[in-house]
Amino acid sequence: MTSETAARIARLRLFAQIMRHPSAILLLVQIIALLAYPFFEGTQAGTAVFNVFGVLVLLLALRMINRTAGRLRLLFALALAVSAVTASLAATVGGYAALLPWAAALESLFYFHAASCLVAYMLADRRATRDELFAAGATFTLLAWAFAHLFALCQALQPGCLAAAVDPHAPRGWTELLFFSFVLLSSTGIGDIIPLTPLARAIASFEIFIGVMYLALVVSRLIGLTLLDARQPPAA
């Protein structure tokens, strides 16, 4: 076997190993988008980069849904993804600002749908695989994205529904909304953004409830199954 053939086989094995953990890819892309977007926010290039990341995340989420959902749920997710991307590009690139609430609503609905499929995937068996552990983190980020888009929709419908320590009357940017969403979902309580209207407070309360239930039911179950597998003696 030549060195070139060995290197090609090694690359194929690495690719196969990566494809066996699509949840890890999804989680990695979400984290990269989370850390990179603040450097581009407010610029035209930043909007384009974020749209590319958004499309990539949507496609990766579709990849996960394809593994965990039936054909009807996959078709529904695909229709949501295409509609959300189209509305988002039309609003940011085409100049149709009136479509921004529709884009936020569609993207929020898609991320909620993708998160529900990942939860079903993690609860499908009684053994915690490595990909399911990655899926736990990916689902958390999908939920944070979904609620951030929901707050963007709320802000479009009710301007001034969210106040903050800096420029309290200005609309909150995407980085602020995503930070607010992570704060509520994790129940850390260190955010500087305050929901002012009843609708915004209802969404915030619902996200806190979802975050607590997710940790209590899904993550704790995966941890318990992992510990149970570790305690079981190896098969003879």
Q: What is the pLDDT of residues 28-49, one digit of tens each?
A: 888 888 888 887 776 655 666 6
Quote the tokens at residue 221: 């179950």
Query: Is the full-model pTM beyond 0.85?
Result: no
Determine the pLDDT at residue 1. 56
Q: What is the 3-state secondary structure (H, E, C) of 183-211?
A: HHHHCCCCCCEEECCHHHHHHHHHHHHHH
Determine the pLDDT at residue 2. 66
Torsion of the alpha carbons at 24, 129, 112 and 168, rounded to the nearest 10: -60
Cβ count within 10 A of residue 90? 17
Q: What is the pLDDT of residues 97-114, one digit of tens each?
A: 788 888 889 889 988 988
Residues of the chain below pLDDT 50:
14-15, 235-236
Cα separation, 198 vs 162, whole angstroms: 11
Determine the pLDDT at residue 236. 47
Determine the pLDDT at residue 90. 81
Determine the pLDDT at residue 213. 87
Determine the pLDDT at residue 49. 66
Cα separation, 98 vs 17, whole angstroms: 44
Determine the pLDDT at residue 198. 94
